[in-house]
Amino acid sequence: ASFFPGIKELPPDPLFGLKARYTADSRADKVDLGIGAYRDENGKPWILPAVRQAEAKLVASPDYNHEYLSIGGYEPFVKEAAKIILGEDSLAIKEGRIVSQQSLSGTGALHLTGLFLKTFYSGEHTIYLSKPTWANHNQIFTSVGFKVESYPYWNNETKSLDLDGFLNAIRSAPKKSVFLLHACAHNPTGLDPTQSQWTTILKELDNNNHLVLFDSAYQGFASGNLEKDGFAIRHAINDKLINSPIIICQSFAKNCGMYGERVGAVHVITPPGATGEAVAPVLRAIKSQLNKIIRSELSNPPAYGAKIVAAILSDKDLKKQWQDDLTTMSSRIIKMRHSLRDLLTNELKTPGNWDHIVNQTGMFSFTGLTPEMVARLEEKHGVYLVSSGRASVAGLNEGNINKVAQAIDEVVR
């Protein structure tokens, strides 16, 4: 103990702790609505057909090997990843205002961004996170020395966006602060701004010279449509709404179902104005500094998942298959939302209004269940969700949805 004075054991991570309790539960009809990972109609993890096909193709290739990647990552992957998030005809790509670095999935992208900004950003080292947000945001940015603040987002009474609160926070934050925005499928609320609300939010951010950091962990997963889910980012860039740099942290964990392979990227987009050769030296400098951080943290990014995703994105047929897979996942989730709402509202006549379940988007529903109700769901019914009341809708299927609806009905009454 003298070597590590004062060291204390921490409680388990809330989400992974929940997973451990679920695993230890011996009830046959237990239901996992905790971790945000897609499950098929049988409640099983799903390997996307596009991924299976890309894997077969990759392994059969005479060039297949397990060599190190370069520090920047797998070049075909980062190039295609940029095109997927920004769109083929993106102004930023056309004007040569983008630099990309492969990262350890979305989490590594956020961490790398935090380290980069901490060293090089001339503005405020304060990051504003939505209230509520994915719990790890707080941890990641605190760990790199950022001050963490929050902006109002979810109005619990109306179960809708607190736009006025959000805009006020943008105005009262010190100029040139960093604002983290969920690009789509907000975690945990499942509530996204409308397109016109996005315009208002982005203009206000620009008026106050804040740096916009988009966290894109669910593109294609929310609506099934890559373009629709990329709206906020593409709107900010192509309509030149933001005159500061924009940073995008991109994950392929959910939309390719490659959770454990850690496929992601950071894209830094310089402001409109300087293009081509005029901005190239800055981009090269940014790239070299990102490379330097990666070199000391991971030496070089993991290859396997990046090669699979690159294979999908650069092949017309595989890309088409992937788009079908996105539709399969998103439409099954949307169907489960409707079934759950209908069971609660029409069949069980559970007290309260449950329409928010169908109005929310992406992996999660912020159910409005209290921590006490959630605890009772777990103890009495073996239905597991996080205490905030966030339910991973992907955990629902035809085989368990009646049970879940009845359990919710019981704890609400």
Q: With contact defined as beta carbons under 8 Å apart, do 210 and 178 qualify?
A: yes
Query: Among 39, 182, 341, 356, which residue interacts with ligand PMP (rule: CB under 6 A)?
Result: 182
Using alpha carbons, list the distances in angstroms from residue 60 to 10, 56, 64, 65.
46, 6, 7, 11
Q: Which of residues 327-366 bind ligand PMP (CB under 6 A)?
A: none
Q: How far is the CB of 29 from ligand PMP (least distance, A)?
A: 26
Q: How far apart are the first and last CA of the chain?
A: 50
CA distances from 186 to 164, 257, 341, 380 (A): 18, 18, 20, 30
Within positions 35 to 64, which residues make up the interface with ligand PMP, using CB under 6 A? 36
Closest CB 360 distance from ligand PMP, rounded Å: 14
CA distance 406 to 188: 23
Could you say which of 90, 100, 105, 130 contacts ligand PMP (CB under 6 A)? 105
Piece of 52-60, 105-113, 155-163, 398-406 that binds ligand PMP (CB under 6 A): 105-113
When the beta carbons of 232 and 279 are compared against ligand PMP, the nearer one is 232
- Considering only residues 72, 73, 87, 106, which one is a binding residue for ligand PMP as defined by CB under 6 A? 106
Amino acid code (one letter) for 21: R
Residues listed for the chain = 413
CA angle 277–281–282, rounded 5-degree value:
115
Is residue 217 involved in binding ligand PMP (CB under 6 A)?
A: yes
CA 31 to chain centre: 23
Catalytic (active site) residue 118:
no
Min. distance of Cβ 296 from ligand PMP in angstroms? Answer: 20
Find, among 173, 147, 179, the residue nearest to 245 by Cα: 179
Question: Of residues 53, 90, 187, 208, which one binds ligand PMP by CB under 6 A?
Answer: 187
Is residue 251 within the footprint of ligand PMP (CB under 6 A)? yes
Task: Write the CA distances from 46 to 102, 185, 222, 257, integer angstroms.
Answer: 25, 20, 17, 7
Report in angstroms how near the CB of residue 290 gets to ligand PMP at its nearest. Answer: 17
- Contacting ligand PMP within 19-38 (CB under 6 A): 36
In Å, how far from its chain's centre is CA 136? 11
Which pair of tokens denotes residue 134? 């994915």
Burial of 369 (0-12, 13-18, 19+ CB in 10 A): buried
Number of residues that bind ligand PMP (CB under 6 A): 13
Regarding 266 and contact with ligand PMP (CB under 6 A), the answer is no
Work out how close the CB of 191 gets to ligand PMP at its nearest, in angstroms, rounded to a whole number.
13
Task: Single out the residue of 38, 128, 134, 384 in contact with ligand PMP (rule: CB under 6 A).
Answer: 134
Of 254, 307, 325, 354, catalytic? 254
Residue ranges in contact with ligand PMP by CB under 6 A: 36, 105-107, 134, 182, 187, 215, 217, 251, 253, 259, 264
Catalytic residues: 134, 215, 254
